[in-house]
Structure 1
Amino acid sequence: MESLRTGISSRSALCCVFVLWLQLTLGLTGDCPADGRTWVPFKGKCYHFVHGVEDKIKSYTFERAQSLCLGFELLTVQSQEENDFVIKYSPEVWKGVVNVWLGMYYDTESDEMRWFGEDAAQFTNWEDHVLSSDILPIDTCVALHSDTGKWEKVSCLDDVENGVICEASEKAEEVKKKPSVLVSVLVILSVIAIVGVSAGIWFLYHKQNLGSSIFSAFEYHPPFRVLETDQSCLVEAEETDNMP
């Protein structure tokens, strides 16, 4: 019974180490928000395409678009690859051309457009021909056209758009990075140590039980004493003399 418990404990420890190694190797710890909405993962981020009711005309002010994200940020586009992803996935959710609000605003201090996460706009995809407008810089927001992927400056106060995409980072993104060689070596050494200790315990346990069974099987019994020939003759003579 004790050996069975030892074996189970060893196997459980090995399973835990294996699962840890698998998580570190494959990056299984990352995940999108579990809030009942549909999130689409892409390159370490999660995207929720707000589709609304199909038989109703969609129109969202910038303020309304922000509130629909429920604490998450509006879409930010940091690369051409991400911009292309939005264009390619949009037809899976919406019919026709959709203008999507971007989480971008005009920063009066730096006199440039910035993301709401305070990141500078390293990548932009403005329309080729920008029309002059009467929008005040402080009231300038940006919309992305789903048919071309181009960006247009629009009014944060007066314009309404028909597309909203919310964005979130995948949880524990730093754990998803490829594990270092040191971590892999430590995991391998842990497995070897657990196997060695388990084998040692198993060997000592069975050696103790085997030793006790051997000693119990060979109990000491005094040998039967055989009388020598002369002594046996004397015994028979004495018995004969004593007979009546």
Structure 2
Amino acid sequence: MESQTKSPRSLLICVLVLCVQLRLASAGDCPADGRTWVPFRDRCYYFVHGEEDAIKSYTYARAKSLCQGYELLSVQSAEENDFVVKYSPSVWKGRVNVWLGMYYDTNSENMRWLSEDPVQFTNWEDSYPSDLLPMETCVSLHSDTGKWENVSCVNDLENGVVCEIAQKVEQPRRKPSALLSALVILSVLAIVGVSAAIWFVHQKHNFGSSIVTAFEYHPPFRVLDTDQSCLVESEELDSVP
């Protein structure tokens, strides 16, 4: 009968495969919500578009509602600004004015992002500043030039909306992952050690049984009793002439 005990090598392979599967399952970047998210550096972007060849127009309030749960586009660098300009033609036809998630903060009397981050990069047109009231001042980005324009948060309609969110990076999980990896390694070693001991005992038991069986005494013929042997010898002597 074949042994049902798995070898330590087989158990080790099974555990390693399980660890790889768990590692892959925990990985992730952009949201998996059925929409097309475009990764760029540590952010993910969703370019909202309507029906093909249809005029699209959104108020500032509507643009924010379309990105509910995420952020309306905020541009923090020239590289990010260029990314939006270069990717826009693959979504929209012709020039599009994209709402930026910027507003006028009455406390600081400066423009700020909806994420409450300070404005560290700008790309204004030559017409900046505008004659709009500060409380009604919002900003749109021209998809063909990448320039920014002051527009009315209340009265203007723009035809481009981009939502964004930070990618799910693994840096914050490094310490827990290291602990988990150590526990997995210790578990593997423990499983391998116990399995090796069981396998060794099983093999030793089988080997010992084979030795006993090999050294069992099987006489080639039946040995006569002592009395019977003497009787045979006397008969042989009497028969000698």
Q: TM-score range by the shorter chain?
A: 0.7 to 0.9
Confirm or deny that 1:147 pairs with 2:144. Answer: yes
Query: How many angstroms does 1:92 deviate by?
Result: 0.6
- Change beyond 3 A, Cα 1:235–1:188: same
Confirm or deny that 1:237 pairs with 2:239. Answer: no
Give RMSD over aligned pairs: 3.6
Distance 1:121 1:96 in 2: 28
Look up the match of 1:122. 120
Q: Are 1:61 and 1:161, in contact at CA under 8 Å, matched by a contact in 2?
A: yes
Q: How does 1:180-199 map to 2 (within 5 A)?
A: 183=178, 186=182, 189-190=185-186, 193=189, 196-197=192-193, 198-199=195-196
Distance 2:152 2:91 in 1: 25
- Change beyond 3 A, Cα 1:210–1:79: farther
Look up the match of 1:168. 165
Q: Are 1:10 and 1:194, in contact at CA under 8 Å, matched by a contact in 2?
A: no
Bigger CA drift: 51-60 or 7-16?
7-16
Distance 1:71 1:178 in 2: 23
Distance 2:107 2:188 in 1: 59
Cα deviations by residue, 1:47-66 (Å, 9 ceiling, x for unpaired)? 11111012221111101111
- Change beyond 3 A, Cα 1:81–1:178: farther
Look up the match of 2:204. 207
Q: Are 2:123 and 2:146, in contact at CA under 8 Å, matched by a contact in 1?
A: yes
Look up the match of 2:79. 81
Which structure 2 residue ranges, 5 or more long, are not aligned? none
Is the partner of 2:205 in helix, strand or coil?
Answer: helix
Query: How many angstroms does 1:100 deviate by?
Result: 0.4
Query: How many angstroms does 1:156 deviate by?
Result: 0.5
Cα deviations by residue, 1:192-235 (Å, 9 ceiling, x for unpaired)? 726852445433432332223332333245797979xxx96774
**TM-score, L = length of structure 1:** 0.77
Bigger CA drift: 56-65 or 3-12?
3-12
Is the partner of 1:152 in helix, strand or coil?
Answer: strand
Q: Which amino acid aligns with 1:183?
A: A
Distance 2:56 2:17 in 1: 51
**TM-score, L = length of structure 2:** 0.78
Query: How many angstroms does 1:144 deviate by?
Result: 0.9
Distance 1:79 1:220 in 2: 92
Distance 1:45 1:122 in 2: 17
How many residues matched? 231
